[in-house]
Amino acid sequence: MSSSLFARPAIVAASSAHPTALLPTIQARGKTSISSLMASHGGFLAKRQYEPPSWASHLSPIPSHTYSLGHLPTPVHKWNLPNLPDETEVWIKRDDLSGMQLSGNKVRKLEFLMAEALAQGADCVITVGGIQSNHCRATAVSAKYLNLDCYLILRTSKALVDKDPGLTGNLLVERLVGAHIDLVSKEEYAKIGSEALADLLRRRLIEEGRKPYVIPVGGSNSLGTWGYIEAVREIEQQSQTDKIQFDDIIVACGSGGTIAGLSLGTKLSSLQAKVHAFSVCDSPEYFYNYTQGLINGLQAGVDSHDIVNIQDAKGLGYALNTNEELKFVKQIAEDTGVVLDPVYSGKAAIAMLKDMKENPAKWKARKVLFIHTGGLLGLYDKVGEMASMVGNWRKMQIDETVPRIDGTGKMF
């Protein structure tokens, strides 16, 4: 696919239209930020006026601006998975490639959420997630790009709540970019809830004279939903250019915002594919209700049950994996080069292939688009469990008679 050649659609670069509407400048915020230097080039990190796709123009409210945070459009390519039903094609949209330290599906939501934070004059953002939350890492990075401080409330086990959380995976990036981390135990989280925790921190920061903006778990509110409405516009254009009509779209679901935008956009656009979501926590019924709330917040007038099919893929529980699941991640990487994360896309891909195996007639000759939502950094949390699954190393045999040849890479 030539998807990387697409220009980002229908978003007017505010930096050229309104020079004064650039990101906060060095003078305005009193700090040097990479964003103030880069935004003037009109691309990455630029503020842009937002025009929704025509098929979404009746939704309300429509955001006025976004900040360009993702490397978009992300590529779509054929995914040569083994043992597919007859004539079934699986393609993969690489939202894991939407950036590097700022990557995955959350980037799309943050483009809208960060724009609102800045429009409201925030000087910091607060968000909440699990100890290896990809969303928290993406929020921390995008906040720093936009010259905001970031406060994270991370959920961990009771035994670890008062210990240094370490530097594994997402934590390394969060701590490198200087995010403030408050640890809470799973029990405290379950008792008080993410909203009350964020509100507690928000009030403390206001008392200190700060102007915090709260981003909900996973960036999943009605504003964040626009991120995947936009992704549908991207897929629509990629399908048209490459003349491929997808019958099904498959994605993991963790807090609901991705499926809300994806399924609503698919319903309204020319895509008309069936959207299947595999939930990795809570229950499908919980997500039908939660998604309904998000799309009601956009006055969409549709029933979540009519636009997405949600199935349970939680397995042992959120962020917990069996050995078989981790082996699957390893095998798919070895077979196809695509590294799935075991918490989200790994579980969704397992559930997809299981259904294809059990019901081959249902999937025969269908063109399926699987959305890889990122999460590679979370895989570092599993290295202990995966160590025994990876081999392929040895001390290189070098005969003493091998002569020296001068060349590049003279390291010593």
Ligand X SMILES: Cc1ncc(COP(=O)(O)O)c(C=O)c1O
Residues binding ligand X (CB under 6 A)? 104-105, 134-135, 218, 220, 252-258, 341, 344, 373-375
Instruction: Please state, in angstroms and rounded to a whole number, the distance separating the CA atoms of residues 103 and 372.
Output: 11
Instruction: Please state, in angstroms and rounded to a whole number, the distance separating the CA atoms of residues 264 and 361.
Output: 27
Nearer of residues 10 and 181 to ligand X, judged by Cβ = 181
What's the min distance (Å) between Cβ of 281 and ligand X? 8
- What is Dmax (Cα atoms) for the chain? 77
Catalytic residues, which ones? 133
Q: What are phi and psi of 6, to 5 degrees?
A: -65, 140
What's the min distance (Å) between Cβ of 361 and ligand X? 29
Nearer of residues 134 and 304 to ligand X, judged by Cβ = 134
What's the min distance (Å) between Cβ of 250 and ligand X? 12
Nearer of residues 23 and 250 to ligand X, judged by Cβ = 250
Q: What are phi and psi of 257, to 5 degrees?
A: -70, -35
Residue-wise DSSP of 156-179 = E-GGGTTS-----THHHHHHHTT-
The gap between the terminal CA atoms of the chain, to the nearest Å, is: 43
Matching residue, tokens 């921190």: 201
What's the min distance (Å) between Cβ of 42 and ligand X? 29
Tell me the pairing of strands 11-13 and 76-78: unpaired
Residue nearest to ligand X (CB): 254
Q: Who contacts 90 (Cβ-Cβ below 8 Å, separation ≥6)?
A: 78, 79, 81, 84, 368, 370
Q: What are phi and psi of 245, to 5 degrees?
A: -105, 115
* 3-class state of residue 65 by DSSP: strand
Matching residue, tokens 């559930």: 351
Nearer of residues 22 and 131 to ligand X, judged by Cβ = 131
Instruction: Please state, in angstroms and rounded to a whole number, the distance separating the CA atoms of residues 337 and 153.
Output: 34
What's the min distance (Å) between Cβ of 13 and ligand X? 27
Nearer of residues 35 and 156 to ligand X, judged by Cβ = 156
